[in-house]
Amino acid sequence: MQQNAPMTETHTVTNQAPPLQGYDVFSSDVVLVDAVERFGAADAVGDLSRLGVLAGSEEAQRWGEEANRHSPVLRTHDRYGHRIDEVEYHPSYHRLMETSVGAGLHGAAWIEGRPGVHVARAAGFMVWNVDAGHGCPISMTYAAVPALRADQQIADEWIPKLSTRSYEPRPLADKVSGLAGMAMTEKQGGSDVRANTTHAEPTQDDGWYRLTGHKWFCSAPMGDLFLVLGKTPAGVTCFAVPRTLPDGTRNVFRLQRLKDKLGNRSNASSEVEFEGTLGRRLGDEGRGVPTIVEMVNATRLDCVLGSAAGMRAGVAQATHHAAHRSAFGRELIDQPTMTAVLADLAIESEAATLLALRLAHAVDAGDVAFRRLATAVAKYFVCKRAPGHAAESLECLGGNGYVEDSGLPRLYREAPLNGLWEGSGNVNALDVLRAMARTPQSVEAFFGEVGLAAGADARLDRANADLLAALPSASEANARRLVEKMCLVLQGSLLVRYGHPVVADAFCATRLARDWGMSYGTLPTGVDTRTIVERARPKLG
């Protein structure tokens, strides 16, 4: 045996991308920064940058990972046998919640009268996408505020709690802050809430009812107030159900089990049973669905924001990896096939971000007509695009993207969620038809917005003309096709007016003129893919 054989390295790590950490998630996203400034929230740039620095830190990213790895645990009883119906979360989940509430991403925007406050809040919601799961109670709380205004007494009591920037996780009566949840769907009805069987009987106290029934899906079960649908003799009615009653006792709020979900693991979603549970009527009897529409429209906005945030995260990871990984003698980002894929992903992300922030601007502007139709259109299409986008972003990292440490599998599991919650694709597509039939002013507002780009790009003009010609033949059978076209012309109009010219040109060529294949990276010849990719790539330091 040779005694002096040279030593060889068996585990020298080379050609691996450094972690995407230690950067400002907000400031490195030029599309988001431009949209915040354009839509009236420039004063919030400093706060958003500070939130972005935290979001890009190793510490915050660890919070997101830990909150998902250590799923919530249901505690139905205490050690002595008393029913407590509480959910126990990992400490990292509470850090995420504390940051969201402290940044005003919950109900604060509704009472803080700063210019562009909803745009700033929307951008913060996207930036603080360290973990999508904890965004559920944040979104529910944001959306509950406008719905509570159906009853001034309830609004006066609860809106201050749902908008204060302090986080108190325990369900106590004397808390100064609070979070909201929602319990609408039942096992026999799902989205058809008019099929609900939960019934409500009035008590002797004015406005209070006793609810009995079972809800199949309760969001944010550790909230302090829940909007619940139940039936009275007049029909489906909305109720505000407190977790803790005014005298400090626990309301009957029996958590039956937590849902074992595909993704969104940090967030507890539950079944809940009511048996004489006390709730206060919110709005008129029999008007529960119209009352809850305000909440649904706001949560649909957050579904669009969440999907746009996921797309941006995928683009950031994919471009960062490609800039630091070499194969066959060149960095991936310099290889034309990969550059085309990255550019196509970036185009999709920019279109989604711009549309999401435009919707938030409509909230600031009080543009109800535009919001009514555009939010449903965006909820359908942007959320539909998210799963495929996440899968392609993951593939850009190759095998590295398929392992949990990369964070891409979690992003992929989250991606279908926003398409399901607050109405599946079919429900949203049909809602668009309903909105057009019942609120013609929303159609006028929608196409008025699209028309602001008239004459700027012939491909957009042709697509819009074809869409307008198709409106008279709109039906349930072709609802999805119609809504897809509506979203594409709206995104095209926004990009032509506000986006980078190279991105706008590529969007119109592919999404509107259909010079495009059936997967990402099938861009037409002549697209300046390098400019698009460099615009999208996060810069460290």
- Name residue 390's amino acid: A
- Cβ neighbors of 413 (< 8 A, separation 6 or more) are 262, 263, 264, 265
How many CB atoms neighbour CB 276 within 10 A?
11
Residue 455: what pLDDT?
A: 98
Question: Do 295 and 277 have their domain in common?
Answer: no
Is 16 contained in some domain? no
pLDDT digits (tens, 9 = 90+) for 398-432: 999 999 999 999 999 999 999 998 889 999 999 99
Q: Which of 247, 264, 286 is the last residue of a domain?
A: 286
- Cβ neighbors of 306 (< 8 A, separation 6 or more) are 125, 129, 132, 135, 139, 414, 417, 418
What residues form DSSP beta bridges with 275?
212
Burial 20-57 (b: 16+ CB within 10 A, else e): beebbbbbbbebbbbbbebbbbeebbebbbebbbbbbb
Domain harbouring 249, CATH code: 2.40.110.20
- Among 320, 520, 510, smallest CA distance to 502 is for 510
Is 186 contained in some domain? yes
Is 14 contained in some domain? no
Question: Do 94 and 108 have their domain in common?
Answer: yes
Q: Are 122 and 108 in contact (CB under 8 A)?
A: no
- Cβ neighbors of 151 (< 8 A, separation 6 or more) are 207, 240, 280, 281, 282, 283
Which helix (H) or strand (E) element contains residue 38? helix 30-38
- 245: region left, alpha or beta (phi > 0 left; psi from -120 to 50 alpha): beta
Point out the residues of the chain with pLDDT beneath 70.
1-8, 173, 541
Is 172 contained in some domain? no
Is 368 contained in some domain? yes
Question: Do 296 and 424 have their domain in common?
Answer: yes
Is 370 contained in some domain? yes
- Cβ neighbors of 396 (< 8 A, separation 6 or more) are 317, 318, 321, 322, 332, 338, 341, 342, 345
Residue 199: what pLDDT?
A: 94
Residue 1: what pLDDT?
A: 47
CA distances from 539 to 25, 30, 313, 320, 534 (A): 9, 11, 13, 8, 9
Question: Do 425 and 300 have their domain in common?
Answer: yes
Domain harbouring 369, CATH code: 1.20.140.10
Q: Which of 236, 253, 286 is the last residue of a domain?
A: 286
Question: Do 403 and 272 have their domain in common?
Answer: no
The backbone torsions φ and ψ at residue 272, rounded to the nearest 5 degrees and listed phi first, read: -135, 140
Question: Do 158 and 114 have their domain in common?
Answer: yes
Residue 342: what pLDDT?
A: 98
Is 23 contained in some domain? no
Question: Do 482 and 401 have their domain in common?
Answer: yes
Question: Do 280 and 360 have their domain in common?
Answer: no
Residue 219: what pLDDT?
A: 87
Question: Do 438 and 364 have their domain in common?
Answer: yes
pLDDT digits (tens, 9 = 90+) for 481-500: 999 999 999 999 999 999 99
What span, in angstroms and rounded, lies between the C-alpha atoms of 360 and 3? 72
Question: Do 41 and 152 have their domain in common?
Answer: yes
Q: Where are the alpha helices (DSSP H) in 402-537?
A: 408-414, 417-420, 425-438, 440-451, 458-470, 479-498, 501-507, 529-536
Question: Do 135 and 227 have their domain in common?
Answer: no
What span, in angstroms and rounded, lies between the C-alpha atoms of 467 and 436? 14
Q: Are 129 and 55 in contact (CB under 8 A)?
A: yes
Residue numbers of the domain that contains 34: 30-163
Residue 8: what pLDDT?
A: 67
What span, in angstroms and rounded, lies between the C-alpha atoms of 322 and 392? 13
- Name residue 56's amino acid: G
What residues form DSSP beta bridges with 218?
183, 270
The number of distinct structural domains making up the chain is 3
Question: Do 264 and 387 have their domain in common?
Answer: no
Q: Which of 286, 308, 330 is the last residue of a domain?
A: 286
Is 171 contained in some domain? no
